[in-house]
């Protein structure tokens, strides 16, 4: 019998991706921009488990969601699920740990989520969401803040997009008293813009009078043309829009934006980007009440989630690469490691790399040809107490003592970083 081990090439699971360094640098650059903006508004990061009790998601979205997510039993027979989104986990945290904290609470998150669906462009089985939740206020200014925050992030990233703002509460009041299954079907048809099918369904359901009101709302071209039977909701939407104007936000009022989820209660919004085909929505959110579903009080909240992967399809961030310094040597390995260690301690935001392949000095310089500088450590340099610094772009060399070398690299690093910021 042969003891030779059989090798098998293992591919990544369907609907997932590997990100190599160049792509990860772009993703991290976008992520840093998002984090910087939300933190400037006072939002603080929250992190929840990758898997939760399945009940958390069925309570929020119904039993049918089990077919759309990664649900499983653990070794003790507990029903668990990989998180398909992050609003429900954040609200669970609020109910369990934050209910007595002063309000409003401003949380943000950035994490991977999972859905078992057919992969296509911009839609994966593992995907990333960046979002915020403002918990504890139902005032127009809270809605306006969250919408402005999403708008500011996407503008800062240089994306071409449209922001549509509506108020789902107007339609919810019209449909009050209608059974949940029928009203959910109506919302789904509006959300998918299937107006002919909506008419047929409502008329066949004996909802002629209600249908006229629904059509009056979804065909309104602006706030002033909305019917007067939803005065309080219309005034709330009007006030939010006034505050968006104050913030310089470019938006359109769109009463067909209904965010087909049952827990949305008031102002809602969606963002559509160019060059994404059918999957053009990159952000969505609104005001909702969900805490009571998980055993807490009926607390108002407003939030949004940005589809990070869709953003990356159309975003081309400028990646500020660090200054890269190679410490190369001619049979002076220990001395080159000592110098590299010293430089890493003395210089911030600088990459310092040494050879670990046992190459000759010539081959080291060839391998590090794309670096900014190479510091040559040879027997002569060690004996005389100086180092040869080579500019890998121009080929110029100069000899410097250790303190001069650190000072020189610090100056070059500072100048390089200023140039990067300018560009």
For residues 300 and 332, state if they share a domain. Answer: no
The predicted model gives 279-288 an average pLDDT of 93
Give the Cα separation of 21 and 19 in Å (integer).
7
Task: Write down the H helix ranges in 267-332.
Answer: 308-314
DSSP 94: I
Burial bucket for residue 51 (CB in 10 Å: 0-12, 13-18, 19+)? middle
Where among 314, 332, 364 does a domain terminate?
314
Lowest-confidence pick of 105-114, 185-194, 293-302: 185-194
Tens of pLDDT, residue by residue over 147-202, are 999 999 999 999 999 999 999 999 988 888 898 889 888 988 988 888 999 999 99
- 244 within 8 A of 251, measured Cβ to Cβ: yes
For residues 350 and 224, state if they share a domain. Answer: no
Within a domain: 343: yes
Give the Cα separation of 394 and 392 in Å (integer).
6
For residues 145 and 182, state if they share a domain. Answer: yes
pLDDT score at 3: 61
- pLDDT higher than threshold 60 for residue 2: no
Give the Cα separation of 271 and 81 in Å (integer).
28
pLDDT score at 24: 97
For residues 304 and 356, state if they share a domain. Answer: no
The predicted model gives 313-318 an average pLDDT of 92
pLDDT score at 55: 97
For residues 205 and 82, state if they share a domain. Answer: yes
Give the number of C-alpha atoms closer than 13 A to the C-alpha of residue 349, restricted to the C-beta side.
13
pLDDT score at 422: 56
Number of folded domains that form the chain: 2
The predicted model gives 10-23 an average pLDDT of 96
pLDDT score at 419: 64
Within a domain: 34: yes
Within a domain: 2: no
Name the nearest CA neighbour of 409 among 381, 385, 382, 387: 387
Residues with Cβ within 8 Å of 24's Cβ and at least 6 positions away in sequence, in order, are none
Within a domain: 61: yes
For residues 301 and 327, state if they share a domain. Answer: no
Residues with Cβ within 8 Å of 306's Cβ and at least 6 positions away in sequence, in order, are 34, 129, 130, 131, 150, 153, 154, 282, 283
Identify the three-state secondary structure at position 226.
coil
pLDDT score at 75: 97
For residues 85 and 115, state if they share a domain. Answer: yes
pLDDT band at 281 (very low <50, low <70, confident <90, very high): very high
Where among 251, 285, 314 does a domain terminate?
314
Within a domain: 346: yes
Range among 126-140, 197-211, 229-243, 272-286 rated most confident: 126-140
Give the Cα separation of 192 and 205 in Å (integer).
19
The predicted model gives 42-52 an average pLDDT of 98
For residues 244 and 374, state if they share a domain. Answer: no
Tens of pLDDT, residue by residue over 204-252, are 998 988 998 899 899 888 898 887 777 889 999 999 999 999 999 999 9
For residues 181 and 301, state if they share a domain. Answer: yes
The predicted model gives 352-365 an average pLDDT of 97
Where among 314, 334, 353 does a domain terminate?
314
For residues 48 and 187, state if they share a domain. Answer: yes
- pLDDT higher than threshold 80 for residue 33: yes
- pLDDT higher than threshold 60 for residue 381: yes
User: Among all chains, which residue has been given the structure tokens 């109910």?
Assistant: 95
Tens of pLDDT, residue by residue over 83-98, are 999 999 999 999 999 9
DSSP 292: G
Within a domain: 3: no
DSSP β-ladder status, 44-45 and 105-114: parallel
Give the Cα separation of 397 and 391 in Å (integer).
6
pLDDT score at 417: 63
Residues with Cβ within 8 Å of 235's Cβ and at least 6 positions away in sequence, in order, are none
The mean pLDDT of the chain is: 92
The dihedrals phi and psi of 358, each to the nearest 5 degrees, come to 70, 30
Name the nearest CA neighbour of 372 among 358, 345, 398, 352: 352
- 360 within 8 A of 69, measured Cβ to Cβ: no
pLDDT score at 94: 98
Cα Rg, the chain, nearest whole Å? 28
> What would the two tokens of residue 256 be?
């067909």
Q: What range does the domain containing 131 cover?
A: 21-314
For residues 267 and 351, state if they share a domain. Answer: no
Name the nearest CA neighbour of 290 among 85, 59, 131, 132: 59
- pLDDT higher than threshold 90 for residue 416: no
Within a domain: 360: yes
- 259 within 8 A of 284, measured Cβ to Cβ: yes
- pLDDT higher than threshold 90 for residue 26: yes
C-alpha angle 351-352-356 in degrees, rounded to nearest 5: 125
pLDDT score at 8: 92
pLDDT score at 320: 85
Tell me the angle at which helices 21-40 and 140-156 cross, rounded to the nearest 10 degrees: 150
**What DSSP element (H or E) covers 214?**
helix 208-218
> What would the two tokens of residue 351 be?
């990459």
Looking at residue 162, which CATH number applies to its domain? 3.30.930.10
Within a domain: 258: yes
Percent above pLDDT 70 for the chain: 95
Give the Cα separation of 287 and 301 in Å (integer).
6
Looking at residue 370, which CATH number applies to its domain? 3.40.50.800
The predicted model gives 19-41 an average pLDDT of 97
- pLDDT higher than threshold 80 for residue 414: no
For residues 293 and 351, state if they share a domain. Answer: no
Tens of pLDDT, residue by residue over 258-267, are 865 678 899 9
Give the Cα separation of 316 and 303 in Å (integer).
26
Range among 15-24, 228-237, 405-414 rated most confident: 15-24
């Amino acid at each position: 019998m042969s003891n030779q081990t059989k090798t098998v090439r293992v591919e990544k699971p369907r609907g997932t991706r590997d990100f190599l360094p160049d792509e990860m640098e772009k993703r991290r650059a976008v992520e840093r921009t998002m984090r910087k903006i939300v933190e400037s508004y006072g939002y603080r990061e929250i992190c929840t488990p990758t898997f939760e009790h399945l009940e958390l998601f069925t309570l929020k979205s119904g039993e049918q969601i089990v077919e759309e997510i990664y649900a499983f039993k653990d070794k003790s027979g507990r029903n668990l699920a990989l998180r398909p989104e992050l609003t429900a986990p954040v609200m669970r945290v609020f109910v369990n740990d934050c209910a007595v904290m002063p309000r409003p609470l401003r949380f943000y998150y950035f994490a991977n989520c999972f859905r078992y669906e057919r992969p296509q462009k911009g839609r994966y089985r593992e995907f990333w969401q960046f979002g915020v939740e403002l918990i504890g206020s139902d005032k127009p200014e809270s809605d306006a803040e969250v919408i402005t925050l999403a708008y500011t992030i996407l503008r800062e990233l240089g994306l071409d997009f449209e922001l549509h703002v509506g108020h789902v509460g107007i339609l919810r009041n019209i449909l009050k008293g209608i059974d949940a299954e029928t009203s959910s079907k109506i919302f789904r048809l509006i959300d998918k813009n299937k107006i002919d099918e909506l008419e047929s369904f409502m008329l066949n359901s004996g909802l002629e009078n209600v249908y006229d009101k629904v059509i009056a709302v979804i065909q309104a071209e602006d706030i002033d043309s909305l019917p007067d039977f939803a005065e309080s909701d219309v005034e709330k939407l009007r006030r939010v829009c006034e505050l968006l104007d104050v913030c310089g936000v470019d938006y359109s009022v769109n009463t067909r934006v209904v965010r087909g989820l049952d827990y949305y209660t008031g102002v809602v919004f969606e963002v559509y980007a160019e060059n994404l085909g059918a999957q053009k929505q990159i952000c969505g959110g609104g005001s909702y009440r969900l805490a009571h579903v998980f055993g807490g009080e009926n607390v108002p909240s407003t939030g949004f989630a940005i589809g990070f992967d869709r953003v990356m399809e159309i975003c081309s961030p400028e990646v500020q690469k660090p200054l890269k310094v190679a410490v190369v040597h001619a049979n002076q390995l220990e001395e080159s490691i000592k110098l590299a260690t010293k430089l890493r301690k003395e210089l911030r935001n600088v990459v310092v790399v040494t050879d670990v392949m046992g190459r000759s000095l010539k081959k080291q310089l060839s391998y590090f040809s794309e670096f900014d500088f190479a510091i040559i450590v040879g027997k002569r340099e060690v004996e005389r107490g100086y180092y040869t610094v080579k500019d890998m772009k121009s080929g110029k060399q100069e000899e410097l003592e250790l303190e001069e070398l650190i000072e020189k690299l610090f100056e070059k690093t500072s100048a390089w970083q200023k140039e990067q910021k300018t560009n």
